[in-house]
Amino acid sequence: MAKKKGCLGCSFPVAIVVVLVILAIGVVSLLSGAFGSSLFGDLGLPEWLSVSVPHPELPAATIFHIGSIPITNTMITAWITIIVLVAFFYFGTRNMKLIPGRYQMIIESVIGYILGLCQDIAGEKYGRKFFAIVATIFLFVITNAWISLIPGIGSIIVHTAEGEAELFRGVNTDINFPLALALVSFVFVEYWGIKTLGIKYFTKFLNTRKLTSSICKLFKGDIKGGLSGIFYGIIDIFIGLIELLSELMRIISFTFRLFGNMTGGEILMLMMVFLAPFLLAIPFYGLELLVGFIQALVFSSLTLVFANIAVNPAHAEE
């Protein structure tokens, strides 16, 4: 029996219908966006097809209060993220099998990837120790980033005491959440360093060994060795202060790296949807999926690297 000819595995009628649907979406997108309005004016299209001028706002909007605690739209999205992650892993691991199904295989692939990353950077011993916090940061950031791309997340408007506001908003675009993650990362890195090295951990911030030994040389009559040692001892103290400053600056760099990239991506998406809904927005959805993965990987990987440096000072130069 002769095979039917087709296009990309479809029959010609189906292919023609697909092409016509794509063209129709493209035309409607062009006409309903800012491009179409500037070229053809008001065409009287239905209101649900029109996109209003975007008004990005950096502060998160307060939706309601629990007592005196304001609950913002980013907090609601964060709770949804936690529920999604808990449900995802609960239903994927409640009936573990020796030969995994598709769902269990996805779970094991995600966990295996993050665990492999931890062990490749920190080794077998510390990789497993760092795994829990690194995996939590990675999954929380990437899930937040991808949830904010779901159509309708930013378009559900509610009336609050302060006026109209979005009910849901991407968590990573609220600077408080990247700051909270940065503080969690900082605290755990310092905790691991202190727990592993004890009081010796603080010598990288305040190294007075060279200075004190050089002062002792002065009292013993070694003027030349003592003076040169004091000079290098002061340099060691200065380097320690720089190390302390760089340690604190990680909080700022972590916060604004995540906040800046995700907020910039959200504004870019808003502008593309405003210019030509669907037509320009779809390619950027794929880009934002990639950006969300990269930001989660960068944040968690840097936490892992800094933790490894904290417990293995000899690896700092590497």
Asked if 262 contacts 58 with a C-beta cutoff of 8 angstroms, the reply is no
Both tokens assigned to 318: 């590497």
DSSP 3-state percent helix, strand, coil across the chain (nearest 5): 70, 5, 20
Give 208-235 pLDDT, tens digit per residue: 777 777 777 767 777 767 777 777 778 8
Long-range CB pairs of 262-265, under 8 A, 24+ apart, other chains included: 262/145, 262/148, 262/170, 262/172, 262/173, 262/178, 262/291, 262/292, 262/295, 263/56, 263/58, 263/172, 263/173, 265/291
Asked if 31 contacts 43 with a C-beta cutoff of 8 angstroms, the reply is yes
Both tokens assigned to 130: 């760092």
Task: State the average pLDDT over residues 69-75.
Answer: 90
% of residues, the chain, pLDDT over 70: 79
Give 166-208 pLDDT, tens digit per residue: 888 889 989 999 999 999 999 999 999 999 988 888 888 887 7
- Is the pTM value of this prediction over 0.85? no
Give the pLDDT confidence score for residue 167 in this predicted structure: 84
Give the pLDDT confidence score for residue 190 in this predicted structure: 93
Asked if 192 contacts 256 with a C-beta cutoff of 8 angstroms, the reply is no
Q: Please, which pLDDT band fits residue 1 given cuts at 50, 70 and 90? A: very low
Residue predicted with more confidence, 48 or 23: 23
What are the sequence ranges of the domains in the chain? 62-196+262-315
Residues in the chain, total = 318
Give 152-163 pLDDT, tens digit per residue: 777 777 888 777
Give 240-282 pLDDT, tens digit per residue: 888 889 889 999 999 999 999 998 888 887 777 777 666 667 7
